[in-house]
Amino acid sequence: MSRYDAIVAGAGFSGAVMAERLASQLGWRVLVLEQRNHIAGNCHDQYDDAGILIHTYGPHIFHTRHAAVWNYLSQFTEWRRYEHRVLGEVDGELIPIPFNLTSLRRCFSAPQASRLEEKLVAAYGRDARVPILELRRSNDDDLKSLADFIYEKVFVNYTAKQWGCRPDEISADVSARVPVVVSEDDRYFQDPYQGIPVQGYSALIGRMLDQPGIDVALDTALRQRVTISAPDILLDGKPFAGSLIYTGMVDELFDYRLGELPYRSLQFRFETLDIPQFQPVATVNFPNAPGLTRITEFKQLTGQVSERTTIVREYPQAYDRHDETRNVPYYPVFTEENRQRYQRYADLVKTIPGLQCLGRLGEYRYLNMDDAVANALERFAALEVSR
């Protein structure tokens, strides 16, 4: 008999929630295997040489409409209340993103803006949040040309850089994350609960994993300890009868036998400057600059006070598992073809009793942090019921 009841591969939010719940609620002994040299997955943060708390894998802002998720995480952290605001550089001007009524007034003359505003309100209602692909289907000529303007200036080039395709070539859910807003609300997210963990995400996830019954092995990829020999799972060469929860890439788990699932990667370029503040808001998007999509200034997220500041520039790129400079799979690519290929892997997962795949990579889904937590809490509840 193994001394563990469950193995969790990956110490990001998905893996940490499962490990924490299994240990604290069921008294299970859980072995967490993490291939990186740190916990917290892509939400990892750390202090840089200038003493600024930076997000290693790109800026992370927590937001949720789920009280249960907020309350659950609040056991492990206090929050800095923070509402994210983004400006986008369009024709040399900084305008609110998502494109809202203030953006409209910045981009058009007063009479034009007020006519378009009236039409937007009549068609969709005040405070509506209209996906750009829906606005482009408007039958009204003025709204149609407004949609084309926003599509061209805000979406088409940004999306080409981020995803390597046009907005209508990937799932409509992707561009709908940043809708056209028929109000002056300039917040990036409208969720009732928004914030940044006061001591950071690594500290939050560290507390989740710091439970009796949980052992964490860093620098340890699943395959170093576990072999899947369908339908059996072996831990250190011996049959393992417990649960295996895997939060890495599902195609990698099966040695790509049904083909590779495509991902997008990112290159982050960090820079520390000897000035207290670099830009007017935490994130500025550059839809039309070559290569670059956005710049984020960490102090504006964390509220840290310092004479220096650290920023990160993001350059999207294709994922290539053979190339060290682009081998972090940040985003699954949401096309119908890829979804079907993922489904074939999901069917394979079902043939191995005890195996569950979870998280952004394990389920090949665009999960925000709160989705990842909600999803893992649901998975835990289902597992608890099925025992």
The side-by-side arrangement of strands in the sheet containing 93-97 is 93-97, 86-90, 283-285, 294-297, 309-318, 263-273, 331-332
Residue of 60, 136, 341, 379 interacting with ligand FAD (CB under 6 A): 60
Q: Which is closer to ligand UDP, CB of 130 or CB of 154?
A: 154
The one of ligand FAD, ligand UDP, none whose footprint includes residue 155, by CB under 5 to 8 A per kind, is ligand UDP
Q: Hey, is 87 helix, strand or coil?
A: strand
Q: Which is closer to ligand UDP, CB of 87 or CB of 101?
A: 87
Q: Which is closer to ligand FAD, CB of 149 or CB of 268?
A: 268
Q: Which is closer to ligand UDP, CB of 179 or CB of 242?
A: 179
Q: How far is the CB of 94 from ligand FAD (least distance, A)?
A: 20
279: Cβ–Cβ under 8 A, 6 or more apart, which residues?
295, 297, 311
Q: How far is the CB of 319 from ligand UDP (least distance, A)?
A: 14
Residue of 163, 367, 379, 380 interacting with ligand FAD (CB under 6 A): 367
- Distance between CA atoms of residues 77 and 350, nearest Å: 35
Residue of 360, 364, 379, 380 interacting with ligand FAD (CB under 6 A): 360
36 makes contact with ligand FAD (CB under 6 A): yes
Q: Which secondary-structure segment (H or E) carries 11?
A: none
User: Where would I find the beta strands (DSSP E) of 102-241?
Assistant: 129-130, 180-181, 193-197, 214-217, 226-229, 232-235, 238-239
Residue of 247, 283, 293, 338 interacting with ligand FAD (CB under 6 A): 247
Task: Give me the half-sphere count of Cα atoms (radius 13 Å) on the Cβ side of residue 83.
Answer: 9
Q: Which is closer to ligand FAD, CB of 98 or CB of 248?
A: 248
Q: Which is closer to ligand UDP, CB of 137 or CB of 350?
A: 137
Task: Give me the half-sphere count of Cα atoms (radius 13 Å) on the Cβ side of residue 220.
Answer: 17
Least Cα distance to 332 among 249, 254, 255, 259 occurs for 249
Residues near ligand UDP, by CB under 6 A = 88, 97, 154-155, 158-159, 162, 174-175, 177-178, 285, 287
Q: Are 285 and 88 spatial neighbours (Cβ–Cβ below 8 Å)?
A: yes
Residues 265-294 that bind ligand FAD (CB under 6 A): 266
- Distance between CA atoms of residues 74 and 88, nearest Å: 32
Q: Are 135 and 147 spatial neighbours (Cβ–Cβ below 8 Å)?
A: yes
264 makes contact with ligand FAD (CB under 6 A): no
Residue of 2, 24, 29, 35 interacting with ligand FAD (CB under 6 A): 35
Q: How far is the CB of 239 from ligand FAD (least distance, A)?
A: 20
- Distance between CA atoms of residues 238 and 241, nearest Å: 10
372 makes contact with ligand FAD (CB under 6 A): yes
- Distance between CA atoms of residues 172 and 331, nearest Å: 15
Q: How far is the CB of 56 from ligand FAD (least distance, A)?
A: 10
Q: How far apart are the first and last CA of the chain?
A: 19
11 makes contact with ligand FAD (CB under 6 A): yes
Site of interaction with ligand FAD (CB under 6 A): 9-15, 33-36, 41-43, 57-62, 221-222, 247-248, 266, 330, 359-361, 367-370, 372
